[in-house]
């Protein structure tokens, strides 16, 4: 642990301990600041604030490093599976062969939804955004699984976590089926987690669905790459919602709502829409100029990141996967050429260099998902599906942390000071 930090405020000196993690920056423990000085810290967007301690995921944004429980994301994406990464995030270590088999079996036993939940879908308009459906249906799970909502019971917490991981593909696939007017397909538990999701999404009851191993493997990789990302906006939302003791299904619904925004999970949809709008590489300079123009709100979607000031390591894996998938599927999509060219031009442009703006995970994922056959509105749903394991792992960690308190930020008040009410007749 480094030395204490001394602060002089209002003629008084107070001292604060500096805490060190395993790796990464030290943090100044300011929990006693208000009691000692009567002052708060001001940090909109939490750019310099650690809201919790966590042993799940580590990011070094300057170096472009992402570790889950210590394992680099590129090794996990290339060599592991989404089920194994889920076990790792939830339990802290890689499973033995038997543990992985048992975990996969357990997840497969929770894939079905209560039949009554299917009727919820019919209440939505057919053109509803599938994220709107996800928010509603996932929140509604709390009304169906009362036997796993006692958050103080670790066993119930684990059952709720398994339920959420297992049911998310079913819920997501049903949201898609509803939008295209096709019948829902029940899960088939002899398939892999990802294969089962693909079949429920693209299969029809009238014929057998053949899973393409290239697509199955690319999809699994996308799930791994989105599984967790430490204290991002949606994960912090899940933790904040959970800090009041809310049940896990409600907390994950809150996370889904936050993820929906275009600055977060909605960016892959926005990135592909932008690439399609650009259309051909010759129009790239026009869009680069717009992104640099202070008076134009346009931003290059899929570029820039709050934490990564270097390549997002997930973008590197996905950039490679995009070429592989499109090649193997024999798809020649001009959008991929536009993306590659845009990446090269932006990386050499002084504006992007100065501001350390690099492609993020969303830049290439849309190209792959579109090649697989997903409409853009489903992109964020797939992100939510994969991120559910990260959310539940973080939520479990928070509930079992003895230092956990209800999340309650302070503010710098800039409104009117105390003033007397004036009756409307005198205003
Ligand atoms: N295009 C053009 N300029 C940009 C971009 C961009 N994509 N991103 C940031 N900038 C500029 C800003 O205009 C700002 O310039 P200024 O200093 O002259 O005002 C500077 O870079 C810093 O931008 P901030 O918004 O302050 O950076 P912040 O860390 O808060 O934002 C964010 C990060 C929201 C991701 C931002 O880069 C962005 O909007 N990117 C596009 C959306 C996107 O791809 N989101 C996906 C994020 S990854 C994920 O959620 C999984």
Alpha-carbon gap, residue 237 to 395, rounded angstroms: 10
Ligand 1 centre from 134 Cα, in Å? Answer: 27
Q: Which long-range contacts (CB under 8 A, 24 or more apart) does 279-287 make?
A: 279/334, 279/338, 280/334, 280/338, 281/337, 281/338, 281/341, 281/342, 284/338, 284/341, 284/342, 284/345, 285/345, 287/342
Ligand 1 centre from 304 Cα, in Å? Answer: 5
3-state secondary structure of 57: strand
Ligand 1 centre from 334 Cα, in Å? Answer: 25
Alpha-carbon gap, residue 26 to 100, rounded angstroms: 35
Task: Give the atom of ligand 1 at the shortest distance from the alpha carbon of 302.
Answer: 44
Catalytic pick among 220, 228, 312, 362: 362
For 345-372, how does the pLDDT look when each residue is reduced to its tens digit (9 = 90+)?
Answer: 999 999 999 999 999 888 889 889 999 9
* 185 contacts 118 by C-beta, under 8 angstroms: no
For 291-340, how does the pLDDT look when each residue is reduced to its tens digit (9 = 90+)?
Answer: 999 999 999 999 999 889 988 899 989 988 888 888 888 888 888 889 88
Could you list the pLDDT tens digit for every one of the 427 residues in the chain? Answer: 568 999 999 899 999 999 999 999 999 999 999 999 999 999 999 999 999 999 999 999 999 999 999 999 999 999 999 999 999 999 999 999 999 999 999 999 999 999 999 999 999 999 999 999 999 999 999 999 988 889 999 999 999 999 999 999 999 999 999 999 999 999 999 999 999 999 999 999 999 999 999 999 999 999 999 999 999 999 999 999 999 999 999 999 999 999 999 888 888 888 999 999 999 889 999 999 999 999 999 999 999 998 899 888 999 899 888 888 888 888 888 888 898 899 999 999 999 999 999 998 888 898 899 999 999 999 999 999 999 999 999 999 999 999 999 999 999 999 999 999 999 999 9
Task: Give the atom of ligand 1 at the shortest distance from the alpha carbon of 355.
Answer: 21
What local confidence, expressed as pLDDT, does residue 1 receive? 55
Active site residue 282: no
Ligand 1 centre from 299 Cα, in Å? Answer: 7
Both tokens assigned to 318: 């996905």
The pick from 304, 353, 364 for probing ligand 1's pocket by mutation, whose C-beta has the most ligand atoms within 8 angstroms, reads 304
Atom 9 of ligand 1, residue of closest alpha carbon: 304
* 339 contacts 275 by C-beta, under 8 angstroms: yes
Question: Half-sphere exposure (CA, 13 Å, Cβ side) for 182?
Answer: 17
Active site residue 362: yes
* 232 contacts 391 by C-beta, under 8 angstroms: no
Catalytic pick among 226, 228, 305, 312: 305
Task: Give the atom of ligand 1 at the shortest distance from the alpha carbon of 226.
Answer: 51
Q: Which residues line ligand 1 (CB under 6 A)?
A: 263-264, 267, 291, 299-306, 355, 357, 360-362
* 367 contacts 319 by C-beta, under 8 angstroms: no
Atom 21 of ligand 1, residue of closest alpha carbon: 355
What local confidence, expressed as pLDDT, does residue 219 receive? 95
Task: Give the atom of ligand 1 at the shortest distance from the alpha carbon of 264.
Answer: 50
392 closest CA partner among 175, 144, 215, 160: 160
**Cβ-proximal residues to 300 (8 Å cutoff; 6+ apart), any chain:** 274, 287, 288, 291, 342, 346, 357
What local confidence, expressed as pLDDT, does residue 206 receive? 96
Ligand 1 centre from 63 Cα, in Å? Answer: 18
For 378-391, how does the pLDDT look when each residue is reduced to its tens digit (9 = 90+)?
Answer: 999 999 999 999 99
Alpha-carbon gap, residue 84 to 61, rounded angstroms: 25
């Amino acid at each position: 642990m480094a030395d204490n930090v001394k602060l002089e405020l209002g003629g008084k000196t107070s001292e604060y301990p500096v805490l060190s993690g395993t790796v990464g920056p030290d943090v100044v423990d300011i929990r006693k600041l208000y009691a000692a000085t009567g002052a708060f810290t001001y940090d909109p967007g939490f750019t310099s604030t650690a809201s919790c301690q966590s042993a799940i995921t580590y990011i070094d944004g300057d170096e472009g490093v992402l570790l889950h429980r210590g394992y680099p994301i590129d090794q996990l994406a290339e060599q592991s599976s989404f089920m194994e990464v889920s076990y790792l995030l939830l339990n802290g270590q890689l499973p033995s062969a038997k543990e992985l088999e048992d975990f996969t079996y357990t997840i497969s036993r929770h894939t079905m939804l209560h039949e009554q939940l299917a009727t919820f879908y019919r209440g939505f308009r057919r053109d509803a955004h599938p994220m709107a459906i996800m928010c509603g249906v996932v929140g509604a799970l709390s009304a169906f699984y009362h036997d796993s909502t006692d958050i103080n019971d670790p066993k119930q917490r684990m059952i709720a976590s398994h339920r959420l991981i297992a049911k998310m593909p079913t819920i997501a696939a049903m949201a898609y089926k509803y939008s295209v007017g096709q019948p829902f397909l029940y899960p088939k538990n002899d398939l892999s987690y990802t294969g089962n999701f693909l079949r429920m999404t693209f299969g029809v009851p009238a014929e057998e669905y053949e899973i393409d191993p290239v697509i199955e493997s690319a999809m699994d990789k996308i799930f791994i790459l989105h599984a967790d990302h430490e204290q991002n906006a949606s994960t912090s939302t899940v933790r904040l919602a959970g800090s009041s003791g809310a049940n896990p299904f409600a907390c994950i619904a809150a996370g889904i709502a936050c993820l929906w925004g275009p600055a977060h999970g909605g960016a892959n949809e926005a990135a592909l829409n932008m690439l399609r709008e650009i259309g051909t590489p010759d129009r790239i300079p026009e869009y680069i100029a717009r992104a640099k123009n202070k008076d134009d709100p346009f931003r290059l979607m899929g570029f820039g990141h709050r934490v990564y000031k270097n390549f997002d390591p997930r973008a590197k894996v996905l950039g490679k996967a995009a070429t592989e998938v499109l090649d193997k599927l024999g798809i020649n999509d001009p959008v991929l050429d536009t993306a590659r060219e845009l990446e090269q031009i932006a990386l050499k442009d002084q504006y992007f260099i100065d501001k350390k703006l690099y492609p993020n995970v969303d830049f290439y994922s849309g190209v792959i998902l579109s090649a697989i056959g997903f409409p853009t509105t489903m992109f964020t749903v797939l992100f939510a599906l994969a991120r559910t394991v990260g959310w539940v792992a973080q939520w479990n960690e928070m509930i079992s942390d003895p230092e956990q308190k209800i999340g309650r930020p302070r503010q710098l008040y800039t409104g009117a000071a105390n003033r007397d009410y004036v009756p409307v007749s005198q205003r």
